[in-house]
Amino acid sequence: MWGTNLPGMAEPPPAPDPDDPLAPARGLGIDGLLALLERLGGVEECAVVREAMAAGVPPTVVVEELQREVERRLLRSARFYDATEW
């Protein structure tokens, strides 16, 4: 019973694509995105995000900008390490 979906329920999400450079950022909230950005060398940017949240910037704006910066860094990092892009 646990392995089946009830009628009307959506199918489980597909497995992540191992070749997707943005996969590490998918489904993360603000805290997860901040942690990932710090690991990607964005400590200063994380401080700016925290200041923006403290100043009252709407969370939707914060998440959009944070997601964009994390994705930019992930793509840049994937291209750097992909010898076919040199």
Pairwise CA distance, residues 59 & 53, whole Å: 7
Element (H, E) at 34: helix 30-39
The predicted-structure confidence for 48-78, as pLDDT tens digits, reads as follows 999 999 999 999 999 999 999 999 999 888 6
User: pLDDT tens for residues 24-41?
Assistant: 788 888 999 999 999 999
Handedness of CA 4, 9, 11, 16 (dihedral sign): negative
pTM: 0.70
